[in-house]
Amino acid sequence: MIPRISFSALLAVVALLSTLATARAASDAEVIRGFNLTVFGAEYSPLGLQSNYVRKFNGPVRFYIQNLATRDRTADVRSFILSLNRLIAGLKVELAPSPARANFIVYLVDRKDYVATVRDKIYRRQTASTPGKCLVRSVFSRSGISRSDAVIVTDEGESLFKRCRAEEILQGLGPLNEHPSLSESMFNDRTRHTSFTRFDRLILNMLYDKRIRNGATPESVQPLLPAVLRDAKRR
């Protein structure tokens, strides 16, 4: 007897298969294009500074998670952060014992406190713009990223929480730009990915390859990218 499958379950299976098929179809040229679109430029550049160069952390990224929300999701965020040690070669993340020892702070908030937290904790300016449903801000120069701060909303459903958790933390590591054409990337406000996609894992592994240096221009890294991508795929 063939078991009955609900229509919603069937749709979920079809969506999963479609996503996997699309992810497998991403060509080297598409991944390199995604790297260029996300690593160079910045959705929110500090003080409007020119930012068309590589930015990443030079040493260990020391995270501190500050829960300000009614529901404490610290354990979920901690687990995601620590998983990056095995998912991104060349990157080392660790948990800091205090905010003063951290160079990446993640604030977990309820929606009602989002605007106030962004203005008080991130920009320290009461008239600051508060775009998006969650946010990350990185302070950087040609020497690299000196610190990042993310604000993640925890009380508007599991999908938004997971998306914000992955997108803002990953963007704060260096791919600070977004583009609507990147259907397999989280770095695109039009997609609904809630997990660290294979496409984005390749981009982060390319970025943290030692051959890709802070301050490098788009022109200088293009000859390196095919080999860097090949090694990222092998890893």
What domains can you pick out in the chain, each with its CATH number?
29-234 (3.40.390.10)
CB 148 within 8 A of CB 137: yes
pTM for this prediction:
0.84
The pLDDT of 147-159, averaged and rounded, is 96
The pLDDT of 107-127, averaged and rounded, is 95
Between 53 and 179, name the one with better pLDDT.
53
**Per-residue pLDDT for 214 more than 90?**
yes
Coil, strand, or helix at residue 112?
helix
Query: Mean pLDDT across the chain, nearest whole number?
Result: 87
Tell me the pLDDT band of 121, cut-offs 50, 70 and 90. very high
Amino acid, res. 235? R
Closest by Cα among 17, 29, 44, 11 to 136: 44
Six token digits for residue 179: 């583009």
Q: Write the CB contacts of 4 (distance below 8 Å, at least 6 apart in sequence).
A: none
